[in-house]
Amino acid sequence: MRLTLLLLSTCLALAFSNCNAATPKYRQVDDRRVGQVGIRKIVGRHLWLYTDLPASNAVDELPLVFDKAVEQWADYFGIPPLRVAHWQMQGFLMQDRAKFATLNLLPETKSDFVNGYAQGYELWLNEQPSEYYRRHLLLHEGTHGFMHAFLGAAGPGWYSEGMAELLGTHRWKDAQLQLGYMPSDRKQVPMWGRIKLIRDANQNGEPLELEAVLGLGQRTALTTDQYAWCWALCKFLDTHPHWQTKFRQLKLHVAERDFNQRFLETFDRAMLQTEWNAFVAALDYGYEPEHMAMVHKATRIVGRQDAVTIAADRGWQATGWQLEGGKQYTITAEGRYQIAFDQGPWPCEPGGVTLRYHAGHPLGMLLGAIHSPVDNAFSKPLALGTERTFEAERDGQLYLRVNDSPAQLSDNQGSLQATIAPKAENR
């Protein structure tokens, strides 16, 4: 049976800034009056939450979850604990929205929001079909509230929503909270679906270019798919071993109008585009950013017999070999390395192990991609194995890796030697 996921969008981008300069504003709520219609108040240190949902652990612990998130937001954004000590939000978690509307408890500026909304020191959530997603939405809106309060703004739409998604995606287990979590399995994040949306778009040949993501959320509310892309870009940069530090500095510029320009100037654009393409092509639950970060090399003309070493525990690795479109090359590979998967470590050679496939090829098989700025070769790699002669489809540098899940590279060990030889008739 094919399960259909209900994928949910979250909230609308906030259209204001600099709310930290103002005195905190909370609408006045008459606890006795709301209590008469079944709305109760759950109080934490940094959040008090009005809800018409019946008492349950998952609902009543939300202010505790929020309090733990405040510590992590402060740490992530570099805000001293003393500054956040007295910061509080007032929240509304609604099953029967009409009850809240009657009591004038909806946001005046956006009373028709779909799932969640944050404004100044207040946030609103519609009840959600999973406990995970209800918490996710609270943390998403809380991230907006925190950024506006302590950074003075939240940047353009893609960054504001991407950060709220990045820090809203979490793990909550045994009263421990982990923000910025990479789910290892979709069962950990019921109704979230961001990775599935990216994988579906990629399979349909519709991945979003980097610059298209930067344009999201500028004028209109985001669609569910667009939330997924904003999350993906922030997740990609926030976990990338070479770019994490630069990405995290962008928080200092959220109030600047030319934020996107600064963003583009911060990174090597060609390399960013290359790695974004490779990331989108491989993204899956449990993705290991440290191991999947690409290894680059300057290009050189292929010699008569050139050899490189390719590690089994890394994603795409540059060979330096600049191939010419239309010419033929033979790649041979040898070596014995170890591929780990759920049945334990397995000895492997460049042909791969045929008892298990990943992405249509034997696990551990040597794959290649001729990188070009105009085409995402990483989404449809060449199966090379122990020996293959092929005609280069285009000019570009050859990248190699062994075939494996992006979630299971860290347990691999060893390497292979790959050798390239241009066919004699090329010369």
Q: Interface with Zn ion by CB under 5 A: which residues?
A: 11, 161, 164
Taking Cα atoms as reference points, which of 112, 102, 115, 93 lies closest to residue 37?
Answer: 102
State in angstroms the smallest separation of the CB of 8 from Zn ion. 12
> What is the arrangement of strands in the sheet containing 396-402, beginning at the earlier edge strand?
300-301, 317-323, 396-402, 366-371, 382-383
Distance of alpha carbon 375 from alpha carbon 140, whole angstroms: 34
Q: Which is nearer to Zn ion, 202 or 226 (CB)?
A: 226
Nearer to Zn ion, 145 or 289 (CB): 145
Cα–Cα distance measured from residue 412 to residue 348, given in angstroms and rounded to the nearest whole number:
10
Q: How far is the CB of 109 from Zn ion (least distance, A)?
A: 14
Q: What's the rounded Cα separation, in Å, for the pair 402 and 409?
A: 10
Q: For strand 415-422 and strand 306-311, is the pairing parallel, antiparallel, or unpaired?
A: antiparallel
CB of 137 to Zn ion, least distance (A): 9
Q: Quick one: 122 or 161, whose CB is closer to Zn ion?
A: 161
Least distance from C-beta 159 to Zn ion, angstroms? 11
Q: How far is the CB of 383 from Zn ion (least distance, A)?
A: 42
Q: Measured from the CB atom, is 11 or 384 closer to Zn ion?
A: 11
DSSP states of 177-233:
EEES---SSGGGSTTT-HHHHHHHHHHTT-PPPHHHHHTTTSSSPPPHHHHHHHHHH
CB of 155 to Zn ion, least distance (A): 12
At its nearest, how many Å lie between Zn ion and the CB of residue 41?
24
| Alpha helices (H) in 221-324, listed in sequence order | 224-239, 244-249, 259-266, 269-282, 289-292
Residue nearest to Zn ion (CB): 11
Residue 152: left (phi > 0), alpha (psi -120 to 50), or beta? Answer: left
Q: Which residues contact 370 (CB under 8 A, 6 or more apart)?
A: 323, 377, 382, 392, 393, 394, 396, 397, 398, 399
User: Is the Cβ of residue 232 or residue 310 nearer to Zn ion in the bound state?
Assistant: 232
